[in-house]
Amino acid sequence: MILQIQNLEEYQQVYQRSVADPEAFWAEMADSFVWKKKWDRVLDWDFRTPKVEWFSGGQLNITENCLDRHLESRGDQVAILWEPNDPEGETVRYTYRELHAAVCRAANALKANGIGKGDRVCFYMPMVPELAIAVLACARIGAIHSVVFAGFSATALADRVKDATCKMIICSDYNSRGAKNIPVKKVVDEAMDMGCDSVTRVIVHRNTGGEVAWNDRVDRWWHEEVDGQSSDCPAETMEAEDELFILYTSGSTGKPKGVVHTCGGYMVYTCFSFKNVFQYQDGDVYWCTADIGWITGHSYIVYGPLLAGATTLMFEGVPTFPDAGRFWQICEKHQVNQFYTAPTAIRALMARGDEWVEKYDLSSLKVIGSGGEPINEEAWNWYNEKVGKGQAPIVDTWWQTETGGIMITPLPGITDTKPCFAAYPMPGIQPVLMNADGQEIEGNDVEGLLCIKFPWPSMIRTTWGDHDRCRNVYFSAFADKYFTGDGARRDAEGRLRIIGRVDDVINVSGHRMGTAEVENAINQHGHVVESAVVGYPHDIKGQGIYAYVIADRTDAEPLRREILEVVTKEIGPIAKPDKIQIVPGLPKTRSGKIMRRILRKIASGDTGNLGDVSTLLNPEVVEAVKEGAV
Binding site for ligand 7RM (CB under 6 A): 249, 295-296, 371-374, 396-401, 422, 484-486, 498, 500-501, 507, 512
CB of 274 to ligand 7RM, least distance (A): 14
Residue 83 or 396: the one with the smaller Cβ distance to ligand 7RM is 396
Residue 201 or 501: the one with the smaller Cβ distance to ligand 7RM is 501
Q: How far apart are CA 163 and CA 157, in angstroms?
A: 10
DSSP assignment of 396-416 equals EEB--GGG-S--B-PPTTTS-
Element (H, E) at 248: strand 243-249
CB of 508 to ligand 7RM, least distance (A): 11
Residue 248 or 328: the one with the smaller Cβ distance to ligand 7RM is 248
Residue 448 or 485: the one with the smaller Cβ distance to ligand 7RM is 485
- The SS3 assignment for 624 reads helix
Residue 42 or 450: the one with the smaller Cβ distance to ligand 7RM is 450
Residue 286 or 356: the one with the smaller Cβ distance to ligand 7RM is 286
Q: How far apart are CA 441 and CA 621, in angstroms?
A: 39
CB of 88 to ligand 7RM, least distance (A): 32
Burial code (b: 16+ CB inside 10 Å, e: under 16) for 446-483 equals: eebbbbbebbbbbbbbbbbeeeebbbebbbebbeebbb
Residue 43 or 518: the one with the smaller Cβ distance to ligand 7RM is 518
Residue 296 or 520: the one with the smaller Cβ distance to ligand 7RM is 296
CB of 548 to ligand 7RM, least distance (A): 23
Q: How far apart are CA 127 and CA 293, in angstroms?
A: 9
User: For residue 151, how far is the Cα from the chain centroid?
Assistant: 14
Residue 373 or 519: the one with the smaller Cβ distance to ligand 7RM is 373
CB of 249 to ligand 7RM, least distance (A): 5
Q: What are phi and psi of 162, to 5 degrees?
A: -70, -40
- The residue type found at 496 is L
CB of 219 to ligand 7RM, least distance (A): 32
- The SS3 assignment for 145 reads strand
What end-to-end distance do the CA atoms of the chain give, in Å?
Answer: 56
CB of 500 to ligand 7RM, least distance (A): 6
Question: What are the start-end ranges of the H helices in 403-505?
Answer: 467-470
CB of 400 to ligand 7RM, least distance (A): 4
Residue 392 or 422: the one with the smaller Cβ distance to ligand 7RM is 422
Distances (CA, A) of 82 to 79, 90, 187, 210, 320: 10, 9, 25, 21, 18
- Nearest Cα neighbor of 59 from 218, 240, 242 is 240
CB of 136 to ligand 7RM, least distance (A): 21
Cβ(198)–Cβ(235) under 8 Å?
Answer: no
CB of 279 to ligand 7RM, least distance (A): 18
- The SS3 assignment for 20 reads helix
- The residue type found at 149 is F
Q: How far apart are CA 145 and CA 137, in angstroms?
A: 9
